[in-house]
Structure 1
Amino acid sequence: MSPPPSPPPRCPALLRIAPLLLAVLLASSAAPAASRLTADYYAKSCPRFHQIVQDTVTSKQISTPTTAAATLRVLFHDCFGTGCDGSILLSAAPLAPPPERDADINLSLPGDAFDLVVRAKTALELACPGTVSCSDILVVAARDLVTMLGGPYYDVFLGRRDTRISRASLVAGLLPRPNMTMSELLSLFGARGFSAQEMVALAGAHTVGFSHCKEFSSGIYGFSKSSSYDPTYNPRFAQGLQKACASYGEDPTLSVFNDVMTPNKFDNMYYQNLPKGLGLLASDRGLYGDPRTRPFVEMYARDQDRFFKDFARAMQKLSLYGVQTGRRGEIRRRCDAIN
């Protein structure tokens, strides 16, 4: 069995995290279940696992360029909600409570990520039936997409099982919203063991993707008696957003790139935008406006390599949150339904 595919050579800034560091991270910050995960989990049971996922990711991203951002967002909502267990992937079932996917905060999750996981699962079921969990597919696909867009490569530990439980009611208050104060966000991340710096590093995922106009409309229309937009916006940027979102009431799908400078490249431009008032969401601009998080924004704006290293570590930590292993959970035959 050959090792997982190396990062594509066209991305010179790719970074690998040393196995020793991964072991330390795993031992020091992960739950006991996470300690059963291994980097070569499918080496014997599904030797082509990494290649199949990478091929599926490449094909989907080329045909649908929004796939990377969509997959990062779905992964975050899965892991940060009730743990990296594939609960976000389950669809509604007769007589069952509404699943996580139907929670109000998850209704806007892009379908590209769900389609990607289905495609990868279908190919893997043909190659090695009943072997690979949907939660492992999601974690690896997100990593491969980050790498494909020029971001850091990082090793992923595998062996997660898929949960049999998914309820919209369980995620109430667990996921960050764009209008939360910085204190609320820090408290939310802190409750899961993430520091302020790790929160800022994870926010760097906004260097790709988009947000719907309704998520920031309160900041660009009728903000106050003295200004139609939030003064923390760059004036020209706010005026451009007002024009771009003018008809969002009739078309709720209208959206704007999170990073208007390099929207399809995974880099540190997101952080460079924030001091200029080019943060799209209130939570983005709050990272620069709050003294508890501003130093990390400034550091990542100066040093892309440091951002890549810290983002990789934070994503590894996120991917270990609330996993199920051993006899817990199952290997789903279909990612949208329990067996």
Structure 2
Amino acid sequence: MALILALLSTTLLLFFFTSSTANALSLNHYDKTCPEVESIVAKTVEKATKKDKTIPATLLRMHFHDCFIRGCDASVLLYSKGNNKAEKDGPANLSLHGFYVIESAKKQIEAVCPGVVSCADVLAFAARDSVVLSGGPTWNVPKGRKDGRISKASETIKLLPSPAFNISQLKQSFSLRGLSTDDIVALLGGHTLGFAHCSSFQNRIRNFNATHDIDPTMHPSFAASLRNVCPINNKNKYAGVKMDPSSTTFDNTHYKLILQGKTLFASDQALLSNPKAKNLVYKFASSKQSFYKAFVNSMIKMSSLNGGQEIRKDCRVVN
């Protein structure tokens, strides 16, 4: 039964992403219908970031988590209703915040261009603006996504990549979305922004396996520092550490940390177990510009996956 369910999930996932090609995106989609849209989103993200420096990291992660479920259809923005528990309330998304930024931008857009701009496009713009505000590269976001009507917390458990994934699991997960090993390495560079809770790396610093208490790929002194932050029987669910020392700056520090064995997630460290991925880690660690170029290409590729059906008036509920 488990195998049948797994195959069914894979078949459905492939259907969502195959059908997404029906919604062709373009760079000039709003030139005539809502030329102010990108300016409105950029100003809203900038205003929110001035008050809360964690906004860029959460908006970038929010976009990634949205795209990996049913394509970039803003299903992560829908609120739970009745018996349906939505994606935003799934275990992997409970630490997401900043939904108000997208909702605020959408409200402003609706005032000048009602019924024209999708919530999915607003989130894609916000993710790009978050990278730019953090000192990273900019790019032209393809436009014309539609918003989805389905959002299930259960799908976040099945479909979002885990921070404990090995390289084979990462490749399988990303390949279902048409993303390559190059895309995996480039997109994981987004982990240069943000914060990680102890639960996402606890398995690496205690009782790792029958032979090692600590993950042997982790630098001993780094593991020791994490054990201090995340003690045994830790009762503080908010405890954790920054993804890297420059956690509000979008740079290539994350790749340097991988090479030093000082990254938090097993999935990031796993990049060194694959020859092609390892070469890219070295390349990006030594050249920020190479990373930027690859990241932009992979973000455009990932964010072009869309399987939505409508343009929501309110990002929190279907029409």
- The verdict on a shared fold, with TM-score over 0.5 as the criterion, is yes
Give the unaligned 5+ runs of structure 1.
1-28
Partner residue of 1:151 out of 136, 154, 161: 136
Matched, 1:299 2:286: no
| Greater fraction helix | 2
Change beyond 3 A, Cα 1:189–1:208: same
Partner residue of 1:267 out of 247, 251, 270: 251
Moved more, 229-238 or 121-130: 121-130
Partner residue of 2:113 out of 114, 128, 148: 128
Residue of structure 1 equivalent to 2:6 = none
Give the unaligned 5+ runs of structure 2.
1-17
Q: TM-score, normalised by structure 2?
A: 0.89
Partner residue of 2:87 out of 96, 100, 125: 100
Change beyond 3 A, Cα 1:169–1:225: closer
Matched, 1:256 2:241: yes
Matched, 1:72 2:52: no
Amino acid at match of 1:52: I
CA contact (8 A) 1:204 1:271 kept: yes
How far residue 100 of structure 1 moved from its aligned partner, in angstroms, is 2.1
How far residue 78 of structure 1 moved from its aligned partner, in angstroms, is 0.6
Amino acid at match of 1:189: F
Change beyond 3 A, Cα 1:34–1:228: same
1:1-339 aligned within 5 A = 31-35=20-24, 37-95=25-83, 97-108=84-95, 110-112=96-98, 114-224=99-209, 227-246=212-231, 249-260=234-245, 262-324=246-308, 329-339=309-319
CA contact (8 A) 2:187 2:299 kept: yes
CA contact (8 A) 2:45 2:101 kept: yes
Change beyond 3 A, Cα 1:191–1:285: same
Aligned residue for 2:275, secondary structure, equals coil
CA contact (8 A) 2:21 2:305 kept: no
Aligned residues: 302
How far residue 209 of structure 1 moved from its aligned partner, in angstroms, is 0.8
CA contact (8 A) 2:167 2:273 kept: no
Amino acid at match of 2:302: L
How far residue 322 of structure 1 moved from its aligned partner, in angstroms, is 2.7
Aligned residue for 2:158, secondary structure, equals coil
CA contact (8 A) 1:41 1:159 kept: yes
Aligned residue for 1:211, secondary structure, equals strand
Q: TM-score, normalised by structure 1?
A: 0.84
How far residue 129 of structure 1 moved from its aligned partner, in angstroms, is 2.2
